[in-house]
Structure formats: structure tokens, C-alpha cells
A and B are shown apart, each in its own frame.
Chain A
Amino acid sequence: MPEKIKLYDDSKCTACRGCQLACKQWNGLKAKQTVNSGSYQNPPGLQPNTYMLIRFQDVADDKGAVKWLFRKEACMHCTEAACVMACPTGALYYNNDFKIVGLNREKCIGCKNCVASCPFEVPKYDHETDKVYKCDMCESRIMNGLEPACVKACPTGALKWGDKADMMKIAAARVKELGESASVYGDKFVGGTHLMYVLQEKPSVYAELKQDPHVPYSVLAWKSWLKPLSLLAAGGVIGGSFLHYIIHGPKTPDEDDNQVNKAEGGK
């Protein structure tokens, strides 16, 4: 099956939050009491029971006119995903068909490696269940030929789910329509994300949007270098010890030194 991505076009988004609700409903996520922080953005960020949310942001242009900006925040489903590299149990994995990042909750042991590794700060740890939660692109739906729940719920066409090549074409055409400050976000880092944005403003305008996300060098050093080195070094020592034993030989005491008198007489 061809690789698929989800495309979010913020210029078409009305922040109705139908997607946010559909996500909760499909994934069976109960809402919790939140606090009014003076914004429609609710809850304030991703949570173990909130896999995606629409961010609300007031932006003033050069003439002082205030404009609302929206952004759907969720797992970006990296092609080179730090969380998958860091996960000790294989609970986080690449879906073979669509290349999205799935999460098998049965396998999650709550080690939080992914929480520390994710360049987008997406996975959220829940103390009560001692597990981590994030969007899995509705893997059970897409594997059965359906769209993710959020895409299904979107009334304006701001969210689309389709073959990567088609989506990239749509995104490029839309950026052209929107003009100078518009751009595609997600195709230039971590091997390409599987949630991509068409942004009407420059990326730096959006609150909490990572400007240069990449797999942390710490994760690369850990998994690509030190992990194999640990076995190589130990193997080298074991092999070296064996060679030492057969070439130089062990450091054996001289047997006659056990005679006390002789030992003392030698001084």
C-alpha cells in the first residue's frame, strides 16, 4: 500500500474542534475538568487523554488588526521517529503499510524514554496507568480503509487523508494560492512527517511550533553509536582475555613461595 499522510490546512480551519471531539470519541477518551484560561484553547496542551487539540492564537498584523490563527497539534508521525528509536519494548513502531507511528499500549511499560526523546514533545505520560499516550493516526481505522476520525469529522476540508504524493501536490498548489508567507511544514525534517501542515503564515509566527525539529543528537549517540559499541567492547575484552590466556598465559604464583621460611629467606 502506498505511504499516506494527513494534511492540515490552517487557512481552511474554522476551529470548530469537531476533530478534537471525534478523536476523543473514537479513542474513548474521557474529558476531565479544566480551567478557563481566557482562551477557547482547551485543554491548554496535549494530555494523556487528549491526543490532539486545536490551538488558538491571536496575532496582530503590521496595521494592528488582530487575526486568529489556528493549528492542529498532534503526533507528527515522523519517518525517522526518535520515540521509536528510544522505545525499549517495541510498543512504538512504524506501521508497515502507511509508515505512521503506531502505539501498542499493551507493550508500553511507562519508561518515558519517548517523552524525553520526542522533538515535538508529543507523548504524554499518565501516572495512574503508568503508560504513555499519543495519537496513533487511528491505526485501527486506516488499516480497514477508513480515514482517521479527525479527518472524517472535518466539515471544511482543512483535514485530508491520502496518498503522500497526492497530498504533497495539493499542499504545493495551496501554498501557491495563499501567497508569499505560506509554506508546507513537515516535509523537510525527520525524514518527512505523516501529519503535514499548509501554514498561511511563516512558521515562526505560530506559538509552540518547533522551528527546527530533529531526532536529538543524544538519541542518535545512544542508539546508533553507544548501543552497538557496548557489545563490541565487551566482545573485544572477552576475545582479548582468551588471547591473553593462550599467548601470554595467566599470572600464576610460583609454587615454592608457599614455604614461609624460603619466602622470608629470600629477602
Chain B
Amino acid sequence: MKKGLIKATDAFERVVHWALAISCMILFITGLGMMFHSFNFIGTVMGGMRILKYVHNFTGIFFAVSLAVAVRMWWKEAGKFEMPEDIDWMKAAGGYLWHVEKVPEVGKYNPGQKAFFLAVAVFGAIMFVTGILMWFQPFSPGLIVLSYPLHALGFVILFAFFFVHLYLGTVGSPGSAPAMFSGWVTRAWAKKQHPRWLREMEESGRLEVYGEEKKG
């Protein structure tokens, strides 16, 4: 680890993130295997469509638990939009789409990240509820059948957002990925992506810098 790196996430955050991410990806893959006949081979590879069904169902339960922990953990920082700075950031599209001289400063999570978090929270919950309904079918078919388009809508949203997240967590924003692997990011990255967070952490003396004693 290089001297001067900044701690962006703790181990618990990273574990929860990956529990959610990996279960979500397993659900995508197994879900695609059931949604499209042309992807039935995914079930064949796993030892049969019946096994795929059970992997999907039980991974769904693991996903729901991870989601509950993740929402609890990130709600304070990412669950609420702050006015007016979040609006200003959105008007500038965070400097992602066109040239912006000075991108409005936001806290630890920018409105784009908050939108992603809220989409995962809301549609993740919908996926869990509709999934359980389809699995156990406790009501009449006329009610249960409503679960299918909702589950599919959740997939449309989450699958698309997944690729946005993947791009902006890797090549679209170099230096971001280490935040979810080692947890340590460069000062330059923090200054570019989360300047206000960096400033506030430094001012309050809570910033952890690799190779330095914690100030304050």
C-alpha cells in the first residue's frame, strides 16, 4: 500500500457490497436462464433447470438479507437527497456528459450514486416480495400473476443500472474500483470525485491516511 492513500470504505462495507453484488449477479444469470429459452443452456451447465431454479430462489433470500443490511448501512449517506447542492450537481450532470468548469461539490455520495442506491433498494425489495409470491403462490392466480411483470420490470431497471455501475466503477472513472477492493483510494481521486467529503473528513480530523497517524 502506498503512503498517502486515503481510506474510503471499511471492511464491513466492502463485504456487504460484494455479498449484494455477487448474489445480484447470480440472480441475473440464473434469471436470464429462465427468462429466455435461448439461455436455457445456463441451466444445463448447472446440472439442469431445476437446480437453476433452486439456486435462483435461495440466492434471492441471501440477496434480500444483504440488501437489508446494505440499506441500513448506507441509508444515512445515500438515502436522502440534499437540496440545493444535489440539484445543482444534477443540472451539471456531475460533469460526466459535457464540459463543466467547476462541478458542484457534493458529499460522500453524489446524486447519481444516490439514485443507484435508491433504485437497488426499492426494486430490490420489489424483486424479493414478488419473488416470494411467485415461489409460494399463497394467493389466487389472478393476484399472483401481477408479480411477473413487476419482477420483469425490476430486472429491466436493475440490469441496466448494473452496467452503469460497472462502467462508472471501473474504466469510466479510473481510481474508483480500489474503494471496493482494498478500500484505499488516492487523494487525487477523492479530490476529483468527492471533494466536499475529503474536506469535511480532513477538517474534522477523521480522515485516515495510509502511513500517517490519525489527526485530531
B-contacting residues of A (Cβ < 8 Å)?
Answer: 86, 88-90, 107, 109-113, 115-118, 121, 125, 130, 216, 218-219, 221-222, 226-227, 229-230, 233-234, 236-238, 241, 244-245, 248, 250-258, 260, 263-264, 267
How near does chain B come to A192, taking the closest CB pair, in angstroms?
22
Would you list 8 pairs from A and B whose C-beta atoms are within 8 A, ordered by A residue? Answer: A88-B33, A89-B49, A117-B141, A216-B145, A226-B155, A230-B160, A234-B163, A241-B167
B-side interface mostly: helix
The chain B residues found within 8 Å of chain A, CB to CB, are 4, 33-37, 40, 43, 48-50, 52-53, 95-98, 134, 137, 141-142, 144-149, 151-153, 155-156, 159-160, 162-164, 167, 171-175, 186-189, 191-193, 199, 202
Question: In angstroms, how far is the closest chain B Cβ from the Cβ of A34?
Answer: 23
Chain B residues, Cβ within 8 Å of A237: 160, 163-164, 167
Query: What is the bound-complex CA distance between A130 and B51, given in angstroms?
Result: 12
Please tell me which one of the listed residues B34, B146, B188, B199 contacts residue A111 in the complex, with CB atoms under 8 A apart.
Answer: B34
CB distance from B1 to the nearest CB of A (A): 14
Q: What chain A residues lie within 8 Å of B174 (beta carbons)?
A: 250-253
Instruction: Pick the residue among B37, B162, B186 that contacts A90 (CB under 8 A).
Output: B37
Give the CA-CA distance A118 to B34 in the complex, in Å.
18
Q: Which of B52, B134, B149, B171 has the most CB of A within 10 A?
A: B149
- Which residues does chain A contribute within 8 Å of B186, judged by CB atoms? 253, 258
What is the CB-to-nearest-CB distance from B18 to chain A, in angstroms, rounded to a whole number?
Answer: 21
Q: Do B192 and A253 touch across chains, with their CB atoms under 8 A apart? A: yes
Query: Given known contacts A107-B49, A218-B149, A250-B173, is B35 in contact with A230 (CB within 8 Å)?
Result: yes
Contact A230 B155 (CB under 8 A): yes
> Which of the residues A116, A227, A230, A257 comes within 8 Å of B188, measured between beta carbons?
A257
**A253–B148 CB distance below 8 A:** no
Residues of B within 8 A of A86 (CB): 148
CA A74 to CA B40, docked complex, whole Å: 29
Please report the C-alpha to C-alpha distance between residue A253 and residue B134 in the assembled complex, in whole angstroms: 46
